Amino acid sequence: MVERNHGIYNMRAVCQKLGLSPETLRAWERRYDIISPMRNEAGHRLYSEQDMQTLAWLIDQINKGFTIGQAVHLYKQMQEEQLERERGATEPHASESDERHGYRETLHRFKKAILHWDDAAAEQTVDLVSAMFGIGVFVSEWMIDLQDMLWQGVKTGELRIAHERFALHIIRNRMHALMRVLPLVSVGDEQSGSFRRSFLAFSLEGEPSDIPLLSFALFLRFAGAAVKFLGYDLPVEEAVFAVEEAAPDVLVLSLTKQDHAYRRGEWEERIRRMEEAVMQVRAARANVDIILLTDAYVPNSRHMKELGITIVRNNGDEWERLIERWNE
C-alpha cells in the first residue's frame, strides 16, 4: 500500500488531472509553500496523493470565488487548528527553499513596516524585492500576494483599513514611478517591440482599488505594449467617451472583490452594472476586445462570454500565456 505522502505523480500527470499549467503549479510551490514534492534520482518532482488532495481543495476554493492567496490562508488556518486539536508540534518543513523563504519574508517585512508606520522601511523592502526577484515578479506576483495579505489582515483584525491605505499609497507611488520611467511606445513600432494593438485600462465606478489593474498595465508596458492607464472609479459615461476617443484595440477592466468591503448582494449588483457598461462600450466600439481582470468568482460567466468578455485571473503565468497568444 502506497503511503499518502509518498511521491507517485510527476508534474505532467498532476497538471493533466487537475487542469493546471506547469507554470502555475511551480508558482504556487514557490510563493505559498503549500506542498513540497519529492525529487526522483533525475531531479524531477514527484507529487504524493496528499499533494493531489491539497491542490484539488485549493482549486475548489478558487472555483467558489476565493483568490489563491485566500485559499492558502484558509488551508493553513485549518491545518493549524487541526494541529492544536491533536496537541502536536511540528518543525518548519526541512525542504523549504531559500527562495520561497526569502519571498515570504519580504511580505512579512513589509507588513511589519506598515504596522510601525515606517514608510522608509517599506520602501527599502520594495527595493529588496525588485533586486532579489526582478521587476517582473514584483509586478505580476509580489504585488498581488501583498494585496491579498493586506486584505486578509484587515479581515482578521490584524491590520486596520488605515494600515491598508498607507501600504497601498506607498505601492501605488512606486508603480506610478515605474510607469513614468518606462519608454512610451506606439502601436506597431518594430524597434520598441510593442504589440500591433493598443490598450486602454481602467475600472468603473465602485471599484475599490487600482492595484491589480496597475500591475497588469505595468506588465503590458514591460512587454512592450502601448497602454493608456486611466485608474479606477471611472463613471460609465466617461468610460464610453474614453473608448470612443482613444479607440483602443483592447479594453482592460478590473473587478476586485474585497470581502470586508461588501454586504450581501452588492457584489452581484456591481457585476450587473459592469455588464450594462460593457454593452454601452460595445455600442460605441463594437470590435474592441475586452478583458476583465479579476480573481473573484463571477456568477453567470456564460453571459460574460456572450458579451465578448475574456476573464483573466491575477496570475503572472496566465498573463504570460495571454501575451504569447497575442504575439502569435
The number of distinct structural domains making up the chain is 3
- Domain containing 133 equals 98-174
Q: Report the pLDDT value the prediction gives residue 87, as an integer from 0 to 100.
A: 52
Cell 497568444 found at? 325
Q: Among residues 112, 143, 174, which one ends one of the domains?
A: 174
Q: Report the pLDDT value the prediction gives residue 163, as an integer from 0 to 100.
A: 95
Residue 109 sits in the same domain as residue 24: no
The candidate with the shortest Cα–Cα distance to 300, out of 292, 69, 99, is 292
The amino acid that residue 297 corresponds to is: Y
Rounded average pLDDT over 30-40: 81
Q: Among residues 132, 154, 174, which one ends one of the domains?
A: 174
- Distance between CA 259 and CA 16 in Å, rounded? 32
The H-or-E segment that residue 38 falls in is strand 38-39
Tell me the CATH number at 61: 1.10.1660.10
DSSP code string of 173-197 = HHHHHHHHHSPP--TT-TTTT--SS
Residue 155 sits in the same domain as residue 195: no
Best-predicted range by mean pLDDT among 117-131, 186-200, 207-221, 239-253?
239-253
Residue 167 sits in the same domain as residue 243: no
The candidate with the shortest Cα–Cα distance to 315, out of 24, 11, 22, is 24
Q: Report the pLDDT value the prediction gives residue 188, as an integer from 0 to 100.
A: 47
> Vertex 203, ends 197 and 204: CA angle to 5°?
125
- Distance between CA 93 and CA 74 in Å, rounded? 19
The model's confidence at residue 92, banded by pLDDT at 50, 70 and 90, is very low
User: Is residue 124 in a domain?
Assistant: yes
User: Is residue 37 in a domain?
Assistant: yes
Rounded to the nearest 10 degrees, the angle between the axes of helix 161-181 and helix 119-137 is 50
Under 8 Å CB-to-CB from 140, ≥6 apart: which residues? Answer: 215, 219, 315, 316, 319
Residue 168 sits in the same domain as residue 189: no
Cell 458579451 found at? 307
Scanning the chain, the segments in alpha helix (DSSP H) are 11-18, 22-32, 49-63, 68-86, 98-115, 119-137, 143-156, 161-181, 211-222, 236-246, 266-284, 301-306, 316-326
Whole-number percent of the chain with pLDDT over 90: 17
Best-predicted range by mean pLDDT among 66-80, 160-174, 222-236?
160-174
Direct distance between the N- and C-terminal alpha carbons of the chain, in angstroms, rounded to an integer: 47
With a cut of 60, say whether residue 84 has pLDDT above it. Answer: yes
Q: Among residues 109, 139, 174, which one ends one of the domains?
A: 174
Q: Report the pLDDT value the prediction gives residue 2, as an integer from 0 to 100.
A: 42
The model's confidence at residue 68, banded by pLDDT at 50, 70 and 90, is confident
With a cut of 70, say whether residue 190 has pLDDT above it. Answer: no
Rounded average pLDDT over 271-291: 88
Cβ 80 vs Cβ 23: under 8 Å: no
User: Is residue 83 in a domain?
Assistant: no
Cell 473573484 found at? 296
Question: 214-229 pLDDT, tens per residue?
Answer: 888 888 888 778 889 9
Cβ 312 vs Cβ 322: under 8 Å: yes
User: Is residue 86 in a domain?
Assistant: no
Residue 206 sits in the same domain as residue 152: no
The model's confidence at residue 327, banded by pLDDT at 50, 70 and 90, is low
Question: 106-151 pLDDT, tens per residue?
Answer: 999 999 999 999 999 998 898 888 777 777 788 878 888 888 888 8
With a cut of 70, say whether residue 183 has pLDDT above it. Answer: no
| Of 45 and 327, the one with more pLDDT | 45
Residue 231 sits in the same domain as residue 152: no
Residue 319 sits in the same domain as residue 278: yes
The model's confidence at residue 260, banded by pLDDT at 50, 70 and 90, is very low
Grid cell in block for residue 59:
482549486
